[in-house]
Structure 1
Amino acid sequence: MDLILWRHAEAVPGSDTLADLDRPLTPKGQRQAKRMGEWLNRVLPESARILVSPALRTQATAEALERRFKTVAGLAPDGTIEHLLMETRWPQARDVTV
């Protein structure tokens, strides 16, 4: 299995009035996500599974990839490594997972 961890692009800073999961990408982050999405589209196999946290910034980053992805609550910032390993089916899975 190939497990690729892709961190979200630059997001607006946290604040008392904005929940962590609701932080959007900055304009710079939008450009970063677009560039990385273009690169990943060239190197990832079509069969790659894309798993994304429910955080707005990760959703927007993944949308830049322009592929189908699955939102997984266990990948949220308060998720555990156990959630990550379970959702990715690591190390048993044979596919590429992002």
Structure 2
Amino acid sequence: MSPKRITSGLLSLILLVLFGWTFVGGVDDLRIQVMLCIGVVLGTVYTIYGELPKWLIILSGGKIVADEDPSNISPRIYIPILMVAILIAIVALMLVIFEIW
């Protein structure tokens, strides 16, 4: 399993936990929960198959491109940025939950 697929799986797991928190806690509305579910499904599909389905690429009108396209940003650039953004969101969430802020 490649590092991209492992990272995709971890990000999907984080989205699943966030969805569970919003669902059980009644924190957000249905739109946010649907977006989280879509993210979990897409991340899980990518983790299992190593690429997004061709029908999704066609449905997007080419805005989502295949991984083999050289114009994609390198995972070495966007994965650390995503991880830092997720860590900042987790820290902000914990500050709000424990009313430290």
Tell me the TM-score range normalised by the shorter chain: under 0.3
TM-score relative to the length of structure 1: 0.27
- The structure having more radius of gyration, on CA atoms, is 2
TM-score (norm. length: structure 2)? 0.27
Greater share of helix: 2
